Structure 1
């Protein structure tokens, strides 16, 4: 778990309640014990870590007009062709019916 996931130095002033099946609760308890965390530390740490990954792709990025134009130009520019890419793209996809 990341350091920010479970920060024991900060006072906790919010309460989160949830319901779980017996199987889910048992699994969470075993995983918490295996990682030497309390159940609360494990659940909160895992949830915060996942939330940080989800939100990482949704952050705002500030750029000047010139920076944004350069960014768009680079996105739209074709990639240089290489023999390895050509061979790869010539092979049938493992997801197609033509394999």
Structure 2
């Protein structure tokens, strides 16, 4: 029916399923209220975080010593 070989049909189907799975992980549906709540969480001024400051002051394990 699709005028494809079985291999092509299976590969196309697998690629489509993989694409849908990835798209499902990147698309978030939210109401206006939910969106505003997220924006309110993201917009306040940053706060000092000693743990992050310490982490970013260290060399990465893959950097030359």
TM-score, normalised to structure 2, is 0.50
Superposition pairs for residues 17-96 of structure 1, below 5 Å? 39=7, 40-41=9-10, 43-56=11-24, 57=26, 59=27, 61-64=29-32, 66-77=33-44, 78=46, 81-83=49-51, 85-93=52-60
Comparing both chains, which one has the higher relative contact order based on Cα–Cα distances under 8 Å and sequence gaps of 6 or more? 1
Moved over 6 A (4+): none
Alpha-carbon RMSD across the aligned residues, in angstroms, is 3.6
Structure richer in helix, relative to its length: 2
Distance 1:62 1:86 in 2: 33
Distance 1:44 1:68 in 2: 35
Q: For residue 31 of structure 1, what is the aligned residue in structure 2?
A: none
TM-score, normalised to structure 1, is 0.39
Unaligned runs of 5+ in 2: none
